Structure 1
């Protein structure tokens, strides 16, 4: 049975994931715009208005289910449309558009970490660690602020490094294609056909067998960077 505090934490995590995912998608569209493709702009998707980006399942239902189940939590917004044929330099610009999403998440993580460390410094300076302010669901206002900021850093790092995995529809697949040619590229396209089964196996099946390469990957990159950012 979940307590009100646990429910509040799940809602907070899902809401912050949604913010991070929306900015991620807008970043794709904005860089495409800078590179000559106005498809996203013409579709009215270069906006932070959630109504333009919400995917009922990917933005709300999926992250809630994953949060309740525990462990890795993922969310996605509606992909921002773009037309690679309108890019000024398609080969180069496709990579830039793909990297824009993870880069936006890394930037959000840095901003969140700066705010967290600033708030933490205020708490330490006050010599009233966690014991002042209104109490909401068992936590003070400052505790909720620190929780929100640290969670925002974490979800952005998770989104950044998860999206860099070189399997479609994730952004890392576009980066890999840039460096492959000829037979190597052909073989990679063949592997891409099995991308979704591979992702499902890595996300859900292998961990049940005690094998968790995704968890190890995210712990190494997102986890270590999280510790570094919140300890700076």
Structure 2
């Protein structure tokens, strides 16, 4: 049965907010673990979605992409991290950046288990839970794969900066002011979807085999 736009938004709302909130809180928690208290002092290490929601990136843009049927896309207010305050800035940057995508992988596993549970649930529960679980799997795979693309300021870009030699890392980091512009262009030209879809299929297949 084809869902209406309102039904789609209702199905996706909780998984989107949950995925983005945990993603950002994970960055802050790991930054705190490695010595940077910036996010903690700003009250951003929290699962309260109101602390992380960006009106455009978390609400409007995901809703538009859901309604238009394209690849789900969005973001939250980035958790503030002062990499200079990390105990070993270049090395620890990798773990702070990787925390977000890792949290999305864990949440994708959670939604896979919820989907398996739905098969044994009463009919009144099974259908809405299965729809929400499928949305949760898709959203978290998108966020994980998207954020691992090696493009600053995405997490994958920061991971690349952490791994590259200093001279190359400095040059590569200069892309960051233009990163979101590049990403939006890739999104609206359809290139981003062509990059993400095969990667999501690979990760989704691995999840299916693991669980």
TM-score normalised by length of structure 1: 0.81
Per mean C-alpha deviation after superposition, the further-off stretch among 77-86 and 184-193 is: 184-193
| C-alpha distance in 2 between matches for 1:4 and 1:186 | 47
Is the Cα contact below 8 Å between 1:29 and 1:82 reproduced in 2?
yes
1:49 maps to which residue? Answer: 48
1:180 maps to which residue? Answer: 164
> Alignment partner for residue 154 of structure 1, among 132, 138, 149?
138
Is the Cα contact below 8 Å between 1:95 and 1:175 reproduced in 2?
yes
1:229 maps to which residue? Answer: 207
Per mean C-alpha deviation after superposition, the further-off stretch among 89-98 and 12-21 is: 12-21
Is the Cα contact below 8 Å between 1:14 and 1:63 reproduced in 2?
no
2:195 maps to which residue? Answer: 217
Is the Cα contact below 8 Å between 2:161 and 2:170 reproduced in 1?
no
Is the Cα contact below 8 Å between 2:65 and 2:73 reproduced in 1?
yes
Cα distance, 1:96 vs structure 2:
0.6
TM-score normalised by length of structure 2: 0.89
Secondary structure of the corresponding residue to residue 151 of structure 2: coil
Please tell me whether residue 112 in structure 1 is matched to residue 111 in structure 2.
Answer: yes
Secondary structure of the corresponding residue to residue 197 of structure 1: helix
C-alpha change, 1:182 and 1:47, in structure 2 (3 Å) is closer
C-alpha change, 1:204 and 1:179, in structure 2 (3 Å) is same
Unaligned runs of 5+ in 2: none
Structure with higher Rg: it is 1
Cα distance, 1:115 vs structure 2:
2.2
C-alpha change, 1:53 and 1:147, in structure 2 (3 Å) is same
Cα distance, 1:4 vs structure 2:
6.6
Cα distance, 1:177 vs structure 2:
1.0
